[in-house]
Chain A
Amino acid sequence: MASVAQPAAQARRARRWEGLPYWLVLPTLAYLVIFFAWPTIQAFGLAFREDGVWTLDAFDTMVNDLRFKEALRVTLILIVVIIPLQFALAVAMALLVNAQLRARGFFLYVFLLPLAISDLAAGIVWSSIFTERGYLNTVLEKLGIIDTPYIWLDFQKESLLLFTIVVAEIWRSTALLMIILVAGLQGIPKEFNEAAGVFGAGFWQRLWHVTLPMLKPSIQVALLLRVILAFEVFATVIAIAGEGTTTLAAEAYRWENTNQDENVAAAYASLILVLSLVSAGIILRFLRTRKEQLLR
């Protein structure tokens, strides 16, 4: 009798387990709906509706604000300048970490450090360097290159100001790219590079024709994350340039906190969201990895 009852009990138990994964993911799903999906929709609601009426007033205010063009331009310039530079740097770091280094653990630790450093802290660090009585001028003076402090953070010279922000952002945010590239490099079989070497390919040829193509999926993810994060750049800019320049996220912050106009702030937020999604689409399209290219 027991032998008959057992399979039935087992089947009952198995059925009970079928629902388990859904119960386990439910809290996460609910949380993301309440605190992620819903606010996203709400952001558009705030941007397009005022006092229960559909309106483009918030966008009107945003676009006609004196700082809007500057914010948009600076945000885009920063993305276009920073990402290629830091990409090259990240590839170099990833290849170095992957090479047979002495004290590899130490280098890895150092290269990873900025991953846990906030944009605000990074901004302050670099303002201590670029400020008029700061470390860069001290070093340059001790080297005899300048004899009076040079003003790096000059609000009149936009390109110089942007240069300092670019340096700080590259310093801070390259670790994220590196870590993704290192993870990708570890998935490339050694034989591929060895084979290319046997056929006489030099370092740059192997990098260009073997390593980088094999890294394409990782590059895609890294680019995607970086571009989206770059649209949110904010505290680094405020810490280094103060009121000297601005970005889209800094304007969203200003409209929400200083001007207390949540509708215009939401208009900025919607713009950031749309720009992020458009760039994500472009990256996915241009770096499309075909299944057969993935090999795995």
Chain B
Amino acid sequence: MTARAALGRIGVHLAAILLALWVLIPIYFITLAAFSTQESVYQYPKALLPTDLSTDTMSFFLHSEGIVPSLQRSVIVALLTLVISLGIGTPAGYALARFSFRGADTFRLSVVGTRAFPIVILSIPLAVTFVRWGIDDTVYGVAFAHTALALPFAVLVTSSVFAGISVELEEAAMTLGCSRASAIARVILPLALPGLAAAAIFVFIISWNEVFAAAILTLQHRTLPAQVLAVLNASPLPFKFAGGFFLLAPSLIVILIIRKYLFNMWGRVVK
């Protein structure tokens, strides 16, 4: 029995290692390709070990036409999306967590319901609207579209963050003479900060990764993914591989920082 249990435990770990390799090996390959010389990117058979590390390929990508400006735009769009989403989503999240008001369930349901819509298709009518508003092909247009994508998420996540902070703390502060506003500012926000930061990082990555809306809504002023997509099939391999790695790299850090909050986020989203 114990031998069998031990065997089972070894099997479980083997399976876990196998699945981890399935995720990691492709990431290893693209990293390897991005940090080898341009010649070895074309070479076949390829080196499977980091034998000729070089920043040559990455620097070729970063110096390609249009990459640096599009990178700047991507960061600006992501920051705008973050500020707008959390700016208007956090109060709504707070309301859902703290008040039972008529229509609260309907509101929550419709926010969850937006996730049941293919949001990318909204960018086609938005392209028409943005021409009329004079913000076509700008970072603002893309940020507005990305906010439509990220806002429901921001509301649900911030709501779960506030729900996780005891309402008594807030009431205690108010009993001790704080107004609701100052109770929130002095007591609740500091406690909510790590959760809100995790939400902010996730909103940032949603925008950083989004390519369909960005490609539809921009022409000259593309974001980084839109730029990479536009020239992808006409580009040499070093550009492709370095670009792929560059787009993927933030995820390695982002998941490390917010992994603890992810289950809380999705657990809540499910309910």
**A28-B92 contact given A40-B122, A179-B263, CB 8 Å threshold:** yes
- Cβ A32 vs Cβ B114 within 8 A: yes
User: Which residue of B is nearest A231, CB measured?
Assistant: B118
- Cβ B270 vs Cβ A184 within 8 A: yes
- The digit string for A130-152, where 1 denotes a CB below 8 A from any CB of B, is 01011101110110000001000
Which residue from B19, B122, B128, B210 sits with its C-beta under 8 Å from A36?
Answer: B122
CB-CB contacts below 8 Å: B230-271 with A: 232-233, 237, 240-241, 243-244, 247-248, 250-252, 254-256, 259, 262-263, 266-267, 269-270
- Cβ B116 vs Cβ A280 within 8 A: yes
Chain A residues whose C-beta falls within 8 Å of the C-beta of B134 in the assembled complex? none
A191 contacts B by Cβ under 8 Å: no
Docked complex Cα distance between A110 and B259 (Å): 10
User: Which residue of A is nearest B88, CB measured?
Assistant: A27
Chain A residues whose C-beta falls within 8 Å of the C-beta of B269 in the assembled complex? 221
Chain A residues whose C-beta falls within 8 Å of the C-beta of B225 in the assembled complex? 118, 120, 235
B68 contacts A by Cβ under 8 Å: no
- Cβ B29 vs Cβ A128 within 8 A: yes
- Cβ B20 vs Cβ A110 within 8 A: yes
Size range of the chain B interface in the assembly: 35 or more
- Cβ B48 vs Cβ A138 within 8 A: yes
- The digit string for B147-162, where 1 denotes a CB below 8 A from any CB of A, is 1100110010000000
Docked complex Cα distance between A96 and B215 (Å): 38
A77 contacts B by Cβ under 8 Å: no
B209 contacts A by Cβ under 8 Å: yes
A65 contacts B by Cβ under 8 Å: no
A239 contacts B by Cβ under 8 Å: yes
Q: Is the interface of A mostly helix, strand, loop or mixed?
A: helix
Nearest-Cβ distance from residue A96 to partner chain B, whole angstroms? 5
| One of A3-11, A18-26, A157-165, A205-213 contacting the partner | A18-26
Which residue from B212, B215, B251 sits with its C-beta under 8 Å from A113?
Answer: B251
Which residue from B15, B33, B98, B152 sits with its C-beta under 8 Å from A128?
Answer: B33
Which residue from A21, A116, A238, A256 sits with its C-beta under 8 Å from B216?
Answer: A256
B144 contacts A by Cβ under 8 Å: yes
A166 contacts B by Cβ under 8 Å: no
- Cβ A28 vs Cβ B89 within 8 A: yes
User: Which residue of A is nearest B228, CB measured?
Assistant: A120
User: Which residue of A is nearest B248, CB measured?
Assistant: A121
B185 contacts A by Cβ under 8 Å: no
B125 contacts A by Cβ under 8 Å: yes
Chain A residues whose C-beta falls within 8 Å of the C-beta of B20 in the assembled complex? 106-107, 110-111
Which residue from A32, A142, A232 sits with its C-beta under 8 Å from B120?
Answer: A232
A171 contacts B by Cβ under 8 Å: yes
- Cβ B99 vs Cβ A21 within 8 A: yes
Nearest-Cβ distance from residue A174 to partner chain B, whole angstroms? 9
**A25-B92 contact given A138-B44, A253-B215, CB 8 Å threshold:** yes
- The digit string for A33-72, where 1 denotes a CB below 8 A from any CB of B, is 0011001101101100000000000000000000000000
User: Which residue of B is nearest A115, CB measured?
Assistant: B255
Size range of the chain A interface in the assembly: 35 or more
Which residue from B24, B104, B121, B252 sits with its C-beta under 8 Å from A252?
Answer: B121
- Cβ A118 vs Cβ B30 within 8 A: no
Docked complex Cα distance between A42 and B125 (Å): 6
Docked complex Cα distance between A106 and B43 (Å): 33
- The digit string for A228-255, where 1 denotes a CB below 8 A from any CB of B, is 1101101100110011000001001100
Docked complex Cα distance between A49 and B178 (Å): 57
- Cβ A273 vs Cβ B126 within 8 A: no
Docked complex Cα distance between A20 and B104 (Å): 12
- Cβ A116 vs Cβ B209 within 8 A: yes
- Cβ A142 vs Cβ B270 within 8 A: no
- Cβ A125 vs Cβ B125 within 8 A: no
Lowest 4 A-B CB distances belong to which pairs? A124-B244, A116-B251, A118-B209, A269-B121
List residues of A whose CB falls within 8 A of some B CB: 17-18, 20-25, 27-29, 31-32, 35-36, 39-40, 42-43, 45-46, 89, 92-93, 96, 99-102, 106-122, 124-129, 131, 133-135, 137-139, 141-142, 149, 171, 179-180, 182-184, 186, 217-218, 221, 224-225, 228-229, 231-232, 234-235, 238-239, 242-243, 249, 252-253, 256-257, 262, 265-266, 268-270, 272-273, 276-277, 280
List residues of B whose CB falls within 8 A of some A CB: 9, 12-13, 15-16, 19-20, 22-24, 26-27, 29-30, 33, 42-46, 48, 88-89, 91-92, 94-96, 98-99, 101, 104, 107, 110-111, 114-122, 124-129, 144-145, 147-148, 151-152, 155, 180, 205, 208-212, 215-216, 225, 228-229, 232-233, 237, 240-241, 243-244, 247-248, 250-252, 254-256, 259, 262-263, 266-267, 269-270
Task: Name 25 interchain pairs, CB-CB below 8 A, sorted by A.
Answer: A27-B88, A28-B89, A28-B92, A32-B151, A35-B122, A43-B122, A45-B125, A46-B128, A99-B12, A101-B16, A107-B16, A111-B19, A116-B250, A120-B211, A124-B240, A128-B29, A142-B45, A171-B22, A171-B23, A221-B270, A234-B120, A239-B232, A239-B244, A256-B127, A270-B121
